[in-house]
Structure formats: C-alpha cells, structure tokens
C-alpha cells in the first residue's frame, strides 16, 4: 500500500495530466490490474 505522500504524488500527476476518473482507473486496471492507487504495491 502506498504511503500518503506517494498517493498525493500520484493524484498530483493525475491532475497535471488532466485525466478523468474513468481514464485514470482504466489506466490503473490496464497497467496493474488494480482499481485504485491504494491497492498498488511499492514496486508498482
């Protein structure tokens, strides 16, 4: 599970890239098989 700081960085990048929630979640699912950044491992 990512730290709060890591999650914040992920969401800052999401906003900077202007990703919609649907596009962001589809990306997580396609790349990592996860529905949420909270489910990511440190390696991901």
Residue 14 lies in a domain: yes
How many beta carbons lie within 10 A of that of residue 11, not counting itself? 13
- The domain of 12 spans 4-39
Residue 35 lies in a domain: yes
How many beta carbons lie within 10 A of that of residue 13, not counting itself? 11
Residue 44 lies in a domain: no
Report whether pLDDT(43) > 90: no
Residue 20 lies in a domain: yes
Q: How many domains does the chain have?
A: 1
Residues 28/35, Cβ–Cβ less than 8 Å: yes
Query: Residue 42: its pLDDT value, please?
Result: 85
Residue 25 lies in a domain: yes
DSSP state of 33: S
User: What average pLDDT does the segment 10-27 reach?
Assistant: 96
What's the mean per-residue pLDDT of the chain?
Answer: 95
Query: Residue 12: its pLDDT value, please?
Result: 98
Query: Residue 1: its pLDDT value, please?
Result: 87
Helix or strand (DSSP H, E) at 42 = none
pTM score: 0.79
CA dihedral 16, 17, 22, 25 (to 10 degrees): -90
Report whether pLDDT(31) > 90: yes
Residue 13 lies in a domain: yes
């Amino acid at each position: 599970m990512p730290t709060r700081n890591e999650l914040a960085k992920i969401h800052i990048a999401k906003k900077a890239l202007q990703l919609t929630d649907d596009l962001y979640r589809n990306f997580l699912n396609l790349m990592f098989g996860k529905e949420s950044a909270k489910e990511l491992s440190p390696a991901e």
